[in-house]
Copies of this chain bind each other. A is one copy, B any other.
Amino acid sequence: MVRKYRVGILGATGTVGQRFIQLLDGHPLFEVTALAASDRSQGKPYAEACAWRLSGEMPSGVRALEVAAPEPPLDCDLVFSSLPAGIAREIEESFARAGYPVLSNSSAFRMDRDVPLVIPEINHEHLSLIERQKRERGFDRGFIVTNPNCSTIMLALALAPLHQRFGVEASVVTTLQALSGAGYPGVPSLDICDNVLPFIEKEEEKIETETLKILGKLRGESIEEAPMKVSAQCHRVNVTDGHMAAIRVKLKRAASLEEITDALASWRSLPQELELHSAPSHPIIVRTEPDRPQPRLDRDAGGGMSVTVGRIKPDPIFDLRFVALSHNTIRGAAGAAILNAELLVALEYI
């Protein structure tokens, strides 16, 4: 029996914080030993501080942990962060400076030139930015690794196998996003009952920029953005969990629908080779029924870590179109950061 890494969670009482705790319950590598939040819950035991909103009971191991302020030191070896963007920059940097590896789901550092924005199946080699980051920021053992925005992860995973095999020139993505993506209390029910909201703040910008970095190439100690164009329109729909996206893609070289389907369905990458604990056996699941994917039926595929793709068809303007779906707080947030941490352990960054 190996000793587990002791982890702290920043933003532990929020929607993503709760998902971190749920996913880490019984995890073979990590054990939650510290919880921090920026709100009035500090000083209370977690069971009292947190209104648990996930199905099933709060894991017993965290019930008695006292919620601390989000500042070092915390009693742990590394931290996961789902802090709000507004305060994440300062706090996450302070943890890295204090020697903690920081696995961040926040948008604060994602586009910084020396910070890896990682999806393990796509761009694990971007982790080599960590050296530059440590050097330039004067970090010692600590560092920051980020995962993308929830919608970007889905888009990037769906595009990656196509980009690798055929080259992607442009992609138009239109999202239908779940309520949990807005956190809690998030979207007022009066705004979404019998309604759709055609606006999610900064979401379109994040998708249009982050995707290019993730699919970009490491050149020396820099990331060269992928030479493609991305257009995003984002909508909030009345669904608890599971972001959907209607996606058109223009390829560099022609491909049949069979080749495209095969590229998506057969795609495996490093996390699958390394058999990382949270890595789904199939990063992308292709369904052939005419009416799939659907949020309620497909969000939990691969333990919430697979992207489900369906309705692959030729498009009158682009080369192809399809619909993608993934669980926005698992693959799109907490699960993304945990998979990054598993990769960092496997590659001995931690």
Partner of A239, one of B188, B196, B293, B300: B196
Q: How far is the CA of A233 from the CA of B318 in the complex (A)?
A: 12
A270 to chain B, nearest CB (A): 26
B56 to A198, Cβ gap below 8 A? no
Per-residue interface assignment for chain A, residues 290 to 331, with 1 indicating a CB less than 8 Å from any chain B CB and 0 otherwise:
111111110010000000001100011110010100000000
Q: How far is the CA of A189 from the CA of B182 in the complex (A)?
A: 10
A184 at interface, CB cutoff 8 A: yes
* Given A176-B176, A246-B174, A199:B237 Cβ within 8 A: no
Q: How far is the CA of A172 from the CA of B240 in the complex (A)?
A: 28
Q: What chain B residues lie within 8 Å of A2 (beta carbons)?
A: none
Q: How far is the CA of A179 from the CA of B53 in the complex (A)?
A: 19
Per-residue interface assignment for chain A, residues 190 to 227, with 1 indicating a CB less than 8 Å from any chain B CB and 0 otherwise:
11111111110000000010000000000000000000
A interface size (C-beta, 8 A): 57
Q: What chain B residues lie within 8 Å of A194 (beta carbons)?
A: 193-194, 238-240, 295-296
A291 to B233, Cβ gap below 8 A? no
- Counting every copy of the chain, the complex holds 4
A276 at interface, CB cutoff 8 A: no
A244 to B196, Cβ gap below 8 A? yes
B196 to A176, Cβ gap below 8 A? yes
Per-residue interface assignment for chain A, residues 52 to 69, with 1 indicating a CB less than 8 Å from any chain B CB and 0 otherwise:
011110000000000000
Interface centre among A53, A188, A193, A240 (most CB of B within 10 A): A193
A184 to B188, Cβ gap below 8 A? yes
B295 to A196, Cβ gap below 8 A? yes
A318 to B231, Cβ gap below 8 A? yes
* Given A55-B296, A172-B248, A230-B316, A237:B196 Cβ within 8 A: yes
What would 7 A/B residue contacts be, using CB atoms closer than 8 Å? A174-B233, A188-B188, A189-B189, A189-B192, A198-B244, A231-B321, A233-B323
